Chains A and B, each alone.
Chain A
Amino acid sequence: MIRFRPCTATMKAALLLTLIFIAASVPIPLPAQDPAAETTLPAATPAAAEGSVYDLESKWRDQSNREVVLSDLGDKVRVVVMGYTTCQNACPRLIADLVSIENELAKDKETAAEVSYAFISIDPETDTPAQLAKVAAQYGFDPERWKFLTGNEDGVLELAVALGMKYRKTTPMDFAHSNIITVLRRDGSIAHQQEGLAADKTETLKAIRTATEDL
């Protein structure tokens, strides 16, 4: 599990400067013949750690084919994943992880009432609102609490960048992408991110509870 580490701008600048220093100021060691040679880089702190994804102005459609902007997701704490519905592999498991978070939170009605969920598609071509509606119905999600969104290529790219998510179309049908569950505070900033499938959700639950307490 990769926990989101808050990082001050100064630290971040230092980190980057170090990297640039490595890149620009010291002779570069050529790749060792030893294949075990490793290059370790710091993980970038996503943009929405400091800002709000609700500042993105991209337009989306939900599973009811209503036009929404991301700030419509605000008000409550929002647990978000990005994926695509025709994905056979990771995405159903990501959704399963969200469901398991929802189930866990349901034990505390007050907290549960302050949390909602979103599945945001990275595949605008295939994931039409109708397709999203089909999937949402298949899982029997409460549409008040669960938003399925689909947008356009640029909107997807910007949101993915804001959340620090990597993806790439690998075939006409498939994507490689990070499996990240993001907890957004009411203001659209990142409270926590959990990376990997079926990861330990203790920290995520804790972050969600803390975020619901900020009004």
Chain B
Amino acid sequence: MKPVFSLFFAFVTALPMFGETVEHVEEMAAIPAGSYTPLYAKDLEPVQVDAFLLDKSPVTNAQFLDFVRAHPEWRRSRVKRLFADDNYLSHWAGDLDLGPDSEKIADAPVTRVSWFAARAYLKTLGKRLPTIDEWEYVAIADETRANATSDPAFHQRILEWYSAPTPKVTPKAASFPENIHGIRALHGLVWEWVRDFNNATVTGESRGDGNLERSLFCAGGALSAGDPSNYAAFMRYAFRSSLAGNYAVGNLGFRGARAIDKPTHSP
């Protein structure tokens, strides 16, 4: 329950591992190895998460525009229906046109992108989507603590966002504070794709089983009875389980992750 010190230690020792070797390092932050207890943990066992790199902010409209310019098969008029539904990039004025609000939205997170499109974008940069465990692990941090989950105010703040009306124009991530890892806007800006959103966790294996009661139960058990504190995480799992790989949804964006190159040990 006191991972902060060891996290810090892992962080300092992790630093020299990636310094020179990783491109785009300025837009990514090193997340130290650690553990967290996922919502679905029936067995209450914390999950170990290896150190990795995560984009400090979600991918923006301008960045995604560069990608579709270079990869015509991902333009909204050409994309295959398996990979993106007809809501894909529908907030843009055209294939390569952000529209009249272009200046406002260029640096805001791109939304209405499918899981397949997010993966294709990240692949061109040698990145991937974070896993659920990676994302949720980073999401337990706030500005000063690697694990803020014991603080009711932390959960309250997230729930307040979930219950706030969606702003007309998506704000920029830059207006959000960095969490202790240097990551902005995991909460409060847009929902984000994860690599294994189809993970059989809270909802069980049954895709058609929209009934989360058993799982809620299970989460309740994991969090001790009547503790609603991680209801925000529950909402995220519920949201993910309602997605399909080609859904392009307003409010749903993504950011990239990447493994930290393991240092080679000489014997």
Contacts and interface: CB of A to CB of B under 8 A. Distances in A.
> Closest 5 interchain pairs by CB?
A51-B82, A2-B208, A161-B245, A47-B246, A51-B81
Interface in A36-64: 36-48, 50-53, 55-56
A178 B206 CA distance: 5
B210 A42 contact: yes
Interface in A1-21: 2, 9, 12-13, 16-17, 19-20
A160 B198 contact: yes
Contacts, number: 166
Contact of A176 (B200, B207, B231, B247): B200
Given A27-B163, A50-B81, A55-B80, A165 B207 contact: yes
A16 B163 contact: no
A164 B244 contact: yes
Nearest to B128: A154
B238 interface: yes
A141 interface: no
Interface of B: 80-83, 85-87, 114-116, 159, 162-166, 195-201, 203-213, 216-217, 220, 226, 228, 231, 234-235, 238-239, 241-247, 249-251
15 contacts: A12-B85, A20-B239, A35-B213, A38-B212, A41-B241, A44-B244, A47-B116, A47-B244, A51-B81, A157-B195, A164-B198, A165-B198, A168-B205, A178-B200, A179-B205
Contacts of A158: 116, 245
The CB with the most chain B CB atoms within 10 A, among A45, A47, A164, is that of A47
Interface string A86-128: 0000000000000000000000000000000000000000000
A45 B200 contact: no
A28 B206 contact: no
Contact of A28 (B114, B162, B244): B162
A158 to B, nearest CB: 7
The CB with the most chain A CB atoms within 10 A, among B201, B210, B212, is that of B210
A166 B87 contact: no
Contacts of A168: 196, 199-201, 205
A166 B116 contact: no
A31 B211 contact: no
Nearest to A46: B244
Interface of A: 2, 9, 12-13, 16-17, 19-20, 23-28, 30-31, 33, 35-48, 50-53, 55-56, 157-158, 160-162, 164-168, 176-180, 195-196
B251 to A, nearest CB: 6
A210 B219 CA distance: 43
Contacts of B246: 47, 50-51
A44 B207 contact: yes
A205 to B, nearest CB: 20
Contact of A25 (B165, B196, B213): B165
Contacts of B85: 9, 12, 50
A178 B205 contact: yes
A28 B207 contact: no
Contacts of A25: 163, 165-166
B162 A41 contact: no
B239 to A, nearest CB: 6
A56 B195 CA distance: 17
Contact of A48 (B82, B87, B211): B82
Contacts of B242: 16, 19, 41-42, 44
Given A25-B165, A28-B162, A20 B82 contact: no
A52 B250 CA distance: 24
Contacts of A56: 82
Contacts of B244: 44-47, 161, 164
B211 A30 contact: no
Contact of B247 (A16, A23, A162, A195): A16
B213 A20 contact: no
Contacts of A31: 216, 220, 228, 231, 234
Nearest to B241: A41
B228 A180 contact: no
A23 B235 contact: yes
B213 A43 contact: no
A17 B87 CA distance: 12
A103 to B, nearest CB: 26
A12 B207 CA distance: 16
